[in-house]
Each structure stands twice: as C-alpha cells, then as structure tokens.
Amino acid sequence: MADILRHHRHHNPSAGEVPVPHGPATGDEHEHYPPGDKPITSDQERAIFSYLTHPDDCYTPEGVYWADLPLRERIAFVNKVQNAEAKKELRAIGRMMKADPLSPVSWYFRNAVLPGAGLGLEGYVLFSIGNLEPLFKSAYPGCWGKKTECDANWIAAVTYLEVIGIMVGQVAVGIIGDWIGRRWGLIQDAAIMFVGLLMITASWGLNLNGWVICYAWSLFFYGFGVGGEYPITATSSMENAVAAGKISTREDRLHRGRKVTMAFLMQGWGQLINQALLILLLLILHHGDGNPPYGSTTVQWIWRLSFAIPAVGTLWLVYYRAYKMPHASRQLVAAKRKNNVTGYDVDSLRLACSFFGGRLLATAGTWFCNDVFFYGNKLFQAQFIAVISDNPTSVLTGWTWNLINVVVSLAGYYLASIFIDNKFYGRKMMQQVGFLMCFIMFIIPAFNYKYYTSPEGIKAFQAMYFLSSFFNQFGPNSVTFLVAGEVFPTPIRASAHGFSACIGKAGALLASVLYNYIDTQTKFYVVPWFGLAGMLLTWLFLPDTTGLDLKEQERRWTYIRSGRDHEYHGIAIHPEHLSLWERIRGVGKNYNPELDLKQKIEDMREEWAGKEKLKRENEAGAASVEDLDDEEWSDEVQNYFKRTTDSSLLAGEKRHDGNGAQLPTLNEKAGSDAASSN
C-alpha cells in the first residue's frame, strides 16, 4: 500500500490536501455539509482516484485510454510503457543476480515450472504414446503390424480411449473447478495422474492382446486427469495472487499472458524430456546401438521405466498442490460470495452462453482447427525422414528428428510468451498469423507433393515441416490455451475452458480417425483448410484482451449478472477489446469514459462498504478472517469513502426515502444517472 500511495502522491502532489466533506456526497437524502466544508469537485475526485481509475501504463497524464489515442500517439505511448517495463525488469534481474547468481533460476522455477508442472508431466506422458508406437511396431508386429496376435480394434483403442479420456476430463474437471473449487481440481488431477501412471507401468495380460486392453484402459484413466489439467491450470495461473480480487495491478495488465503461457510451455519441456529419456534408455538397454531388431524384454524395460519415472514427480505434485496452494480458489470464492452462490453458478452459465456465445464459438472452434493441424504436423515427419535418412527403419532415427522438432517447437513457445502481451501483436494477431503460416506450410506441398518428397525438394519440405511446428506454438497452440479462459467470467471460466479444450480434442480425434482412411496425398489436400478456417474464426469472433485488466472484465460481468449490462460504460466494451462480431451487434455502443469514471468510483465505494461490514462482523465473530480480502486502498481513498458513504450502505441495510419506498443503491443510482445522460 505504501508503494501505491507514494505513486499516487507522486502523480498527484496536491491529493493529500483535498478538503473532504463530512457528509455523503451522493444520494438525494443528503444535500448539506457542515459549516466550513465544501462539496468535493470532480477534478479533486479524479485526483484522489487517478492511481486506481487511470493507471499510467494504460492512460496518458490527461486521462486518455491508450486505445483512444491517434495511431502515432498510440505507438509512442505503448512503446514508452513497454520499453520502461523492459528496462525495469532487466534492472531487477541484474539486482537479483548481483545478490545471488542463481536467483533468476529459482524465480523461474517458482513462476513457470511449478505452475506448469502438471502440464509438463502431461506433455511427457501424452506424447510418449506416439513416440513408443514405432518401437512397439518393431517388437510386436503381430499387434502393431499384421495384427495376427491382437484385435485391430483394441490397437486403435490405444489412441482413441486416451483422447476420449482427455475429453471427458476436460469437461468434467472444468465443471468441478467452477463448482467445488480450483484447489480441489488441482489436487484431484494430480492424484488421478499418479494412479494412472501406476496402472500404465504395471499393465499386463495373459497374452499380448490382454496387455493391450489393460494398457488402453489405463491410458483412458490417466487421460481423465490429463484433460483436467487444461482448464484447471489455465484458470489457477490466471487467478493467482496478482489478479485474485486485488486492486488491478500493473503486473496483471502487462504480463498476464506471459504468466499463463510460461506455465503452458512446460508441455513442450515434457515432450523434450520424454524424447531425450527414451533415446538414452534405448542406447543403454540396446547395447549402445539404436538399430533394429529390438528384443521384447528391452522394449518392456524401456516403456515401463519411461512411465515409472514421471510417476515419482506426479506424487510430489500431489503433495505440493495439497499443502502449498491453499488459496488457489480465492477469486472464485470471492465471486460466488458476491453473487450469493454456494454451488455451481447455473445463472452465470446461462448468461455467458447468451452474452458470450460468439466467444465460445471462437475459443472452441479455433482449438478444434488447431488440433487437426497439431496432429497433421506429424504427416511431414515420416515423409522427409524416409528420403533424407540412410536408415529410416531405425526407431532412433525417427526419435532424433522428433527431438529436433520439439526444440524448434520450444522456441515457438518461448517467443509466444514474449509477444503475447505486446499491444501491437498480442493474442489475436498472433493466432491469426500462426494459422495463416500453418495454412501456407501445408498448402504448398499439397499441390506439388511429388517434388517436395523427392531428394531435390526434401530440404524445402524439411524447412516447411519445422516452420509449421514453430508457428503452431508461436500462434494458435499457445493462444487457444490462454484465451479459452481469459475471455470468460470467473464463475464459469473453468467450464468454458474445459468445453473449448474438449472440442479441440475432438479435432485430434477426427485427425486420428480420418488419417486411417485417406492416403498421404489426400491428407495434404484436407489439412490446410482447417488453418484457413481457424484464421477466419479468430478474425470474426475472438476479442483481443491484450492489455485489458482481468478485474475490469469482472466488473462488466457484475453489471451483466445483475441485468444492467446496458449501464456499463468501461473499457471492457472498448472496440479494441471486442470481436468484430460483437462490434457488429453493437456491444460497444455504450462505451463512455466520463460516465464510466463516475460509476467506477461508486463501484469501489460499494466494494469498500461491503468489506467494512465484513470487518465489523469479523470483530463480532460473525465472519471468518478468510472472508476478508485485504484491499490496498490508499489513505485518501479510504478517508473519502468514510466521510462520503451513507451509513445505511456501510451497515448493509436497505435505504428508504421519507415515504418508506426503497432507494436504489449508490451503484444503481449512478447507473440510472448515466442512462439519463445517454
């Protein structure tokens, strides 16, 4: 609070000297002030609240929002803010390294590795299934080859059951995360993944077909936990201490996307570690030679060890989430308390489908298109390896090329985390460019397939393969994970994310089924159009939330939830932060910075009054300490509220006029005044 207060006084040196009246300044029932006091003026009021209503990373000193500036001024303002923030972070890193050279590593571990540990383990196991398939094909041709020893349907079920388990987990845990809480979802997912890994490691049967059946159902169980990681990790990363009910912070506005994508990119590290470990195990257990033939005993040791090792890390994750993340559900609890909801907020779900249907189409539809591409990328690998390799039948050869591809993908993940909060690139542009580049990388070889799979064109084919991997991560794969939760309100955020991810995995399921029935040339004719469709869905239906405060979106939701959406005038409906579809429907027509300033102050007043009431109840033993959010209000703001707030509002009572009729709340009154002004 001291830092915020110093910041406020630095920008408003006279704020501490503003005369504050003793009576409430709003409401028709109070129209006089004690002798010697004067009503507060709008300029003085603006000075008191400017550090809250007009933070300097979003507004000019004159109070103009960055997106309202002319293009040249906008570029200058945004670059100034971003350059200053970059210098500030570099200086902070320098101080950390001076004090302790390894402190940046520990910071990264706390802020990226731990939040994304579940996704890292998920990436490790999920992609190991595909990595192990060529090894199984070589060692068990009676199952993965001619299928004389195993049922072909159960071999296919290894992939299908895994994907279906993920889809079920995404929807179910999304609902659980909004119903019971984020913390419960985090613990439950880690526990399910741990048990699932034990099941996979110990899977066995009286014959090969029995083993395959046990293996497939173990993957289904594990997949349920994996699926739950998507909505629960995204929402908890977004709603941690930075944005969880606190006064809007600079960190949230400038780095929220980076915070979430740094957790998500652990999926790439999981893939990398899995592939590197499999290569090492093959070299160690296959007598230093990665070439076929591969013995059954060697294969069994390799795949069981590859699953047993992450089981240890998953067990530690269960402990960490159970004992080290006690406040993961804090923002959800605050949102439910505000709306007097104890279970699942069905009303919020209904309203979200009505108001944010276009957004749901964008997040689910683009994720579907992306997953077709994500799996379609694997088409390139077998083709160019067969041409450029002297030993294409070696599992080690395929694994080595895949390791290189994962490294390229990781570069895309990290570049996405750097640019995803850039106001001139950000979420929407990144996703559109990523989809466009993937479309181009697939459409070129589609119509000249023979040339690009020949020795003359294989180098260009290889380059397109790596570029498609890079732009998939530096584009839709990273963005879909972020925006699927970010563009929806807290009460149904995990549900919306889980549903979008489930529809996305339906794209993966479509790819895995479709590719079994069409030849490689036809695959290249089909896949590119999903990239084009994803780009168009992004352009039409996805809003750009880059730089938009998460708490401002929650404020808009409060108006929608109370049936007063037309009374909201803030930046959450600024055209910059709306989709083309929403702008066409007229959602942003009520944007009005001046009216919004008045309402924002009254919103804060009611929030402050509610917290004061809770404090008094806590002192009387009627409320628990956990119910209290420790807001960092400056002394000027608290003093202003104390001396201008109706005592009945502070007590939580209903206000009535002289005839006994109930008066509107301060917020409702501000809304009706704003509507009259319109």
Mean predicted confidence (pLDDT) in 41-48: 72
Under the banding of pLDDT at 50, 70 and 90, the label for residue 401 is confident
Under the banding of pLDDT at 50, 70 and 90, the label for residue 648 is low
In this model, does residue 136 exceed pLDDT 90? no
Residue 65's DSSP bridge partners are 59
Q: Which contacts (CB < 8 Å, 24+ apart) does range 164-167 have?
A: 164/220, 164/223, 164/509, 165/219, 165/220, 165/221, 165/222, 165/223, 165/224, 165/226, 165/227, 166/126, 166/223, 166/224, 166/226, 166/227, 166/505, 167/227, 167/502, 167/505, 167/506, 167/509
Report pLDDT digits (tens) over 367-392.
999 998 877 666 556 655 666 566 66
In this model, does residue 81 exceed pLDDT 70? yes
In this model, does residue 126 exceed pLDDT 60? yes
User: Which of these ranges, 268-277, 278-287, 617-626, 663-672, has the smallest mean pLDDT?
Assistant: 663-672
Residue 45 amino acid letter: E
Under the banding of pLDDT at 50, 70 and 90, the label for residue 90 is very high
More confident residue, 652 or 426: 426
Of 541, 561, 579, the residue at which a domain comes to its end is: 541
What are the residues whose beta carbons fall under 8 Å from the beta carbon of 539, sequence distance 6 or more?
A: 432, 580
Q: What is the mean pLDDT of the chain?
A: 82
Q: Are 67 and 576 in contact (CB under 8 A)?
A: yes
User: Do 387 and 518 fall into the same domain?
Assistant: yes
pLDDT of residue 390: 60
User: Do 388 and 532 fall into the same domain?
Assistant: yes
User: Which of these ranges, 16-20, 91-95, 334-338, has the smallest mean pLDDT?
Assistant: 16-20
Q: How far is 606 from 614, CA to CA, in rounded Å? A: 12
Element holding 128 (H helix, E strand): helix 117-139
Residue 662's DSSP bridge partners are 656
pLDDT of residue 312: 92
> What does DSSP assign to residue 41?
P
588 domain residue, yes or no: no
In this model, does residue 254 exceed pLDDT 60? yes
| Most confident segment among 239-248, 410-419, 438-447 | 410-419
Of 526, 541, 556, the residue at which a domain comes to its end is: 541
643 domain residue, yes or no: yes
In this structure, the number of other CB atoms found within 10 A of the CB of residue 256 comes to: 25
pLDDT of residue 17: 38
The interaxial angle of helices 346-355 and 357-376, nearest 10 deg, is 80
Distances (CA, A) of 145 to 129, 155, 416: 17, 10, 40
Mean predicted confidence (pLDDT) in 512-521: 79
Under the banding of pLDDT at 50, 70 and 90, the label for residue 34 is very low
User: Do 93 and 164 fall into the same domain?
Assistant: no
User: Do 437 and 529 fall into the same domain?
Assistant: yes
Least Cα distance to 177 among 371, 408, 333, 21 occurs for 333
553 domain residue, yes or no: no
Of 502, 526, 541, the residue at which a domain comes to its end is: 541
User: Which of these ranges, 188-202, 393-407, 462-476, 544-558, has the smallest mean pLDDT?
Assistant: 393-407
568 domain residue, yes or no: no
User: Do 322 and 367 fall into the same domain?
Assistant: yes
63 domain residue, yes or no: yes
- Tokens of residue 568, six digits: 């909201």
User: Do 39 and 165 fall into the same domain?
Assistant: no
Report pLDDT digits (tens) over 547-560.
998 889 989 999 99
In this model, does residue 568 exceed pLDDT 90? yes
Q: How many distinct structural domains can be found in the chain?
A: 2
User: Do 501 and 617 fall into the same domain?
Assistant: no
User: Do 450 and 503 fall into the same domain?
Assistant: yes
Say which residue the tokens 């591969």 belong to: 294
Mean predicted confidence (pLDDT) in 248-274: 89
User: Do 114 and 89 fall into the same domain?
Assistant: no
Through-space distance between the first and last CA atoms of the chain, rounded to whole angstroms? 36
397 domain residue, yes or no: yes
Q: Are 490 and 332 in contact (CB under 8 A)?
A: yes
Mean predicted confidence (pLDDT) in 302-308: 91
pLDDT of residue 513: 82
Under the banding of pLDDT at 50, 70 and 90, the label for residue 85 is very high
Q: Are 412 and 438 in contact (CB under 8 A)?
A: no
In this model, does residue 546 exceed pLDDT 70? yes
pLDDT > 70: percent of the chain: 83
Least Cα distance to 260 among 421, 374, 370 occurs for 421
Q: Are 612 and 575 in contact (CB under 8 A)?
A: no
Q: Look up the domain containing 646 and give its range.
A: 1-101+598-678
More confident residue, 500 or 398: 500
560 domain residue, yes or no: no
User: Do 518 and 655 fall into the same domain?
Assistant: no
In this model, does residue 536 exceed pLDDT 60? yes
In this model, does residue 616 exceed pLDDT 80? no
pLDDT of residue 385: 64
| Most confident segment among 23-32, 347-356, 535-544 | 535-544
User: Which of these ranges, 253-262, 545-554, 611-620, has the smallest mean pLDDT?
Assistant: 611-620
Distances (CA, A) of 659 to 656, 662, 670: 8, 9, 22
User: What pTM does this model have?
Assistant: 0.84
Return the CATH number at 291.
Answer: 1.20.1250.20
User: Do 142 and 265 fall into the same domain?
Assistant: yes
- Tokens of residue 162, six digits: 């895994």
569 domain residue, yes or no: no
pLDDT of residue 650: 64
In this model, does residue 236 exceed pLDDT 50? yes
Q: Angle 611-614-616 (CA atoms, 0-180°, nearest 5)? A: 115
User: Do 536 and 642 fall into the same domain?
Assistant: no
